Amino acid sequence: MEPWSREWKQHQLDLLYAAWENCQGCELHQTRKKLVFGEGNPDADILFIGEAPGEHEDKSGRPFVGDSGKLFDSMWCGALGQSREDIYITNIVACKPPKNRDPIAVEKDQCLPRVQEIIYIVDPLLIVSVGKFALNTLTSGRSWGIEKQHGRMFSSPHPTIKVGGEHNGVEIPGRVFPRKESDKSIHTLEYDLVPVFHTSYILRTDSYDTNANQFPKGGVAHQTLDDLQAVVKRVEQLKREYKDIPRIVERM
């Protein structure tokens, strides 16, 4: 297999899953039904990262299913002009917390290396964090509210940045960037990030109008569609910018 080909990436994800499928690193393993590792295109341009599995995900072993999955598949993928099979989806935590509470620090810290490895293998153009918990975890433990941050473009300081944005992208420090055989130095890999409302929050907040067959205009569902359309534009720009330039920032 050619390194960094789609087949190679899938193989690496399969190996990573095998290493984590019986994880007992925190107490969540005692109550989970199935570990929810992640799924989708191993060579995706867009990587969605949510918070933690819910009841439906825990039963199926798949991220974003049930009512949240229906919203994700119909509205969100539609806004992106892609299918679920075109993107990659995972969560910060792979096991369902009791009573759907937010993961606690020990659970997040135990599972974060898995998330970082998925990011490293998939190597997306852009990450979409779904919900407040995922946003704050991926931006080094900040405590931002999603209401003010959704749709904000957190741009990593890659060499050809042309569009203004907050230099606060997702970082994976201390990795050997493997694409140049002559260069084995340690780099910090950086990725652009766009936070959006969580699907479950949208379903709790917006009342779907069955007569009009849509969510109310101006609500969080439509705000999220606007955010995802901005994601599409940013990805297209990044494709042009990264055409001949490796996505690395040398560690100081």
For residue 184, the model assigns a pLDDT of 47
Among 27-31, 170-174, 225-229, name the one with the lowest average pLDDT: 170-174
Question: Is residue 15 very low, low, confident or very high in pLDDT (cuts 50, 70, 90)?
Answer: very high
Q: Which residue has the higher pLDDT, 181 or 245?
A: 245
pLDDT, mean of residues 91-111:
95
Q: What digits encode the pLDDT tens for the residues 37-81?
A: 999 999 999 999 999 999 999 999 999 999 999 999 989 999 999
Q: Which residue has the higher pLDDT, 192 or 33?
A: 33
CA–CA separation, 153 vs 194, rounded Å?
Answer: 5
Question: Among 83-87, 144-148, 174-178, which range has the highest average pLDDT?
Answer: 83-87
Task: Say how far residue 176 (Cα) sits from the centre of its chain.
Answer: 22
**pTM score:** 0.87
For residue 155, the model assigns a pLDDT of 74
pLDDT, mean of residues 138-151:
87
Query: In this model, does residue 226 exceed pLDDT 50?
Result: yes
Residue ranges and CATH numbers for the domains of the chain are 6-244 (3.40.470.10)
State the chain's mean pLDDT as an integer.
84
CA–CA distances in Å: residue 88 to residues 21, 91, 124, 182, 244: 18, 11, 9, 30, 24
214 three-state secondary structure: strand
For residue 188, the model assigns a pLDDT of 63
The answer to whether the CB of 166 falls within 8 A of the CB of 153 is: yes
The answer to whether the CB of 45 falls within 8 A of the CB of 72 is: no
Tell how many helices (H) and how many strands (E) occur in the chain.
Answer: 9, 7
Q: What digits encode the pLDDT tens for the residues 168-216?
A: 566 665 554 444 444 445 556 678 899 999 999 999 988 776 565 678 7
